[in-house]
A and B are shown apart, each in its own frame.
Chain A
Amino acid sequence: MLIKTSSVIPSSEITDEKVYLSRRSFMRGVAVAAVSSSAAGSLIGCTSSASAAVTPSRQAWEQLVAPQFQNIKAGPFSTTEEQTPYEDILRYNNFYEFGTDKTDPSRYAEQLDIQPWSIKVDGECGKPGSYQLEDLVKESQLEERVYRLRCVEAWSMVIPWVGIPMATILKKFEPNSNAKYVAFETVVRPEQMPGQRSLFSSIEWPYREGLRIDEAMHPLTLAAVGLYGKILPNQNGAPIRLVTPWKYGFKSIKSIVGIKFMRDEPYTTWNALAPNEYGFYANVNPSVDHPRWSQKSERRLPGGLFGPKRIDTLMFNGYADEVASLYTGLDLRKNY
């Protein structure tokens, strides 16, 4: 598979891709051996193969947006920190719709059909309705943004997203002056998403997230449709997801099918599940500890075998210059 990459992708990543492919075919063999040699496969955690599987729906989507992906421009705010390899971004995911293990999404996400894909827009706006995703993407210029991603579980990555500023998309729907918040929803398809079939899951699907309108319209906020110059792998939230790099990763909702402009603060999944652990804002903040994880530092992935790359966590994940002014006068200890 030869992938046309845009000029903004440095050649080092293209080498990465080759390594990735050869390693992948090696791991296939390992996976087969592991499955056949262990009856208790799920207990001991089978070998994961990281791939963005080529399925008919992915091919269809890839073709639809191919012209846009051949013309990606370098966007603002990109960090020059070392990027997490493509392979690692694909095999270490929290996407509970596919299961709670980090390797579940890479194992099961290819079952998700990402074509056709439409987004239902309603609430306080001038142009509610159902929008075909390709129409939204075709009208827009794609940008590459290399952002840090900080998970609430105290690990982090550096990811070269491809996307459209969220504000560009939201403005098409003409939010009115009552629109103080934006709510987002992930697709619900239990037949394609094994995590949604689980009997003992405490999440009420659909997964829901939300932002204040000024956060949603902020220039940092991205509607991502790709990474490493290619369409988003399913396990990373294809075909379209939110990226808010100054907030913990769970805010950056994946596989979006619903957008609603609201007067009041919307229901958000983790906040509803454990309000003492997950706030509505969820801004990265090293001075507010989480009951489960210390937020003072983080493990930058990939980590070596003999000890993780532990680095200090920065306020707003290092984006304080851009976003701190959104929160003047707000007590961030209470509004975590």
Chain B
Amino acid sequence: MAADKWGIARWWGIFILSLGPLAYLIYRIVSRDLGPDPGEAITRFSGLWALNFLLITLAVTPVNQWLKLRWLVRFRRMLGLYSWFYAALHFSAGFLLVLDIQNFVQEITKRPYITVGFVAFVILVMLAVTSPKFMVRKLGRNWKKLHKLVYLSGVLAVVHFIWLARADYTEPFTYAFILALLLVMRPAYRRFGSASRARGTALN
């Protein structure tokens, strides 16, 4: 890690800011403000933030490409790990507090919206496990291939969201739109962006 002060300040800034949703959730738990069904509230809140962080992570590269915020790229891994963190909270709360854990396998196989959510989660776990530097070295070229799965995870998470909506699609469609935008920004940059900063910027 670069020893410059800005780098360290930014690192701590983003690290602590990303804990904000968790702090807010804990605050609402402690002040008993989650209503009569706290399990559902925790599940929904953490699910939404897992997806928010996933999209923020996916936004890092395009934002860097178009706005030349090179320093952002260094935080992509941390942001991705936060997505996994909130997803793990979501998964645990979903099964311990909302779904029937005694029917774990059935809930996953019989309910399509959970099946896709589960696959999205498994991908995030694999990416988290292979995120340390030594794993990057160990996996070599395969690491990059593996981590391309993050796009699939994003798509599946949005499908999960659309699928569990029952009558009003405003929110999931908004997320789908943002995801689509992020996905087309990369090829768009390759075609229309500045030629001088071609492919090499996607470091890590």
Contact = CB atoms under 8 A, between A and B. Distances in A.
A45 B111 contact: no
B194 interface: no
Contacts of B34: 305
A294 interface: yes
B97 interface: yes
A128 interface: no
Interface residues of B, number: 39
B39, B44, B49, B165 — most chain A CB neighbours (10 Å): B39
A103 to B, nearest CB: 7
A303 B33 contact: no
B59 to A, nearest CB: 15
B33 A27 contact: yes
Interface string B18-38: 000100100011010111111
A10 to B, nearest CB: 20
Interface stretch (A198-206, A213-221, A239-247): A198-206
A310 interface: yes
Contact of A299 (B37, B44, B106, B166): B37
Chain B contact residues: over half helix, strand or loop, or mixed? helix
Interface stretch (A54-62, A66-74, A84-92, A184-192): A84-92
B37 A92 contact: yes
Contact of B168 (A38, A198, A304): A198
In the A-B complex, the 7 residue pairs with the smallest Cβ-Cβ separation, listed nearest first, are A302-B36, A88-B36, A200-B169, A301-B36, A200-B170, A100-B168, A201-B168
A30 B33 contact: yes
Nearest to B165: A100
Given A96-B167, A96-B168, A100-B167, 16 more contacts: A43-B52, A44-B45, A47-B28, A88-B36, A100-B166, A155-B40, A199-B170, A200-B170, A201-B169, A201-B170, A202-B169, A291-B112, A299-B39, A303-B36, A303-B97, A304-B38
A102 B40 contact: yes
A308 B60 CA distance: 39
B161 interface: no
A307 B96 contact: yes
Given A44-B21, A91-B35, A195 B168 contact: yes
A49 to B, nearest CB: 10
Contacts of B96: 307
Interface residues of A, number: 43
Interface string B178-204: 000000000000000000000000000
B41 interface: yes
A308 B45 contact: no
Contacts of A92: 35-37
Given A45-B45, A100-B166, A200-B169, A155 B103 contact: no
A292 B173 CA distance: 20
Nearest to B21: A44
23 contacts: A44-B45, A48-B35, A84-B36, A88-B35, A100-B167, A103-B35, A155-B40, A195-B168, A198-B170, A199-B170, A200-B170, A201-B169, A202-B167, A291-B112, A294-B103, A294-B106, A297-B100, A299-B39, A302-B35, A302-B37, A305-B29, A307-B96, A307-B97
B48 interface: yes
B82 interface: no
B113 interface: yes
Contacts of B166: 100
A273 interface: yes
